[in-house]
Amino acid sequence: DAGVTQSPTHLIKTRGQQVTLRCSPKSGHDTVSWYQQALGQGPQFIFQYYEEEERQRGNFPDRFSGHQFPNYSSELNVNALLLGDSALYLCASSRWDRDFTGELFFGEGSRLTVL
Amino acid sequence: RKEVEQDPGPFNVPEGATVAFNCTYSNSASQSFFWYRQDCRKEPKLLMSVYSSGNEDGRFTAQLNRASQYISLLIRDSKLSDSATYLCVVNFGGATNKLIFGTGTLLAVQP
């Protein structure tokens, strides 16, 4: 049973460029949340997708956008990269369930460095 | 004010010690609370849920004080393998399950 997979694992971009990160959720999960984790900080909520729609959004600018596909996989896009966007980007999957247990399953993350 | 606040530590304790972590949250409407653990260079993983009546899982005890909007985690008889960052997590989204993480508290258990 494959867990959450993310790609790429590492990437380096320059200021002003655009990046796309990808995530495949754990088998049986239909909800994907994206988090940004800067060094020494906790994960910060970017947004959440369910049924191909953005359901919740954190305090991130419009440069951060996403998409969810019919197979539940998801992409995170960041435009006009800034140095401050350098971080580990974590994808977390879960089931959209009123009896949510609180367990998010995280991928190993995509580490983005902006030069 | 941050949505979920924790003392970042680090907490350096000897093996066998008891250590307590505290956390406060800003949204009084939040209904569910959790502690996650994150090992160095690894992804976060659920450690335990926090219930209003308090709950225990082996050496770990979690408590919630809704009136003070305060959550705690107590670790008894610390082991070297407990060394990690402990993240306080609050569900701000109700039915949509928007989990907000604190900064995390770094625990280093010394031999």
Residues of B with Cβ-Cβ distance to A48 under 8 angstroms: 93, 96-98
Residues of B with Cβ-Cβ distance to A103 under 8 angstroms: 46
A45 vs B100: CB contact, 8 Å cut-off? yes
d(CA B21, CA B35): 10
Using the 8-state DSSP alphabet, how is residue A26 labeled?
P
Q: Which residues of A touch B (CB under 8 A)?
A: 31, 33, 35, 40-45, 48, 50, 55-56, 58, 90, 92, 94, 96, 98, 100-104, 106-109
Q: For residue A74, which phi and psi values (nearest 5 degrees)?
A: -145, 155
Which residues, in sequence order, are CB contacts of A41 under 8 Å at separation 6+?
B103, B104
Phi-psi region of A52 (alpha: psi -120 to 50; beta: other; left: phi over 0): left
A100 vs B32: CB contact, 8 Å cut-off? yes
Q: Please tell me the predicted confidence (pLDDT) of residue B27.
A: 85
The number of beta carbons lying within 10 Å of the beta carbon of residue B63 is 19
Is residue B52 very low, low, confident or very high in pLDDT (cuts 50, 70, 90)?
Answer: confident
pLDDT, tens digit, 9 for 90 and up, residues A9-59: 999 999 999 999 999 999 999 999 999 999 999 999 999 999 999 999 999
Its sign, for the CA torsion B82, A104, A83, B26, is negative
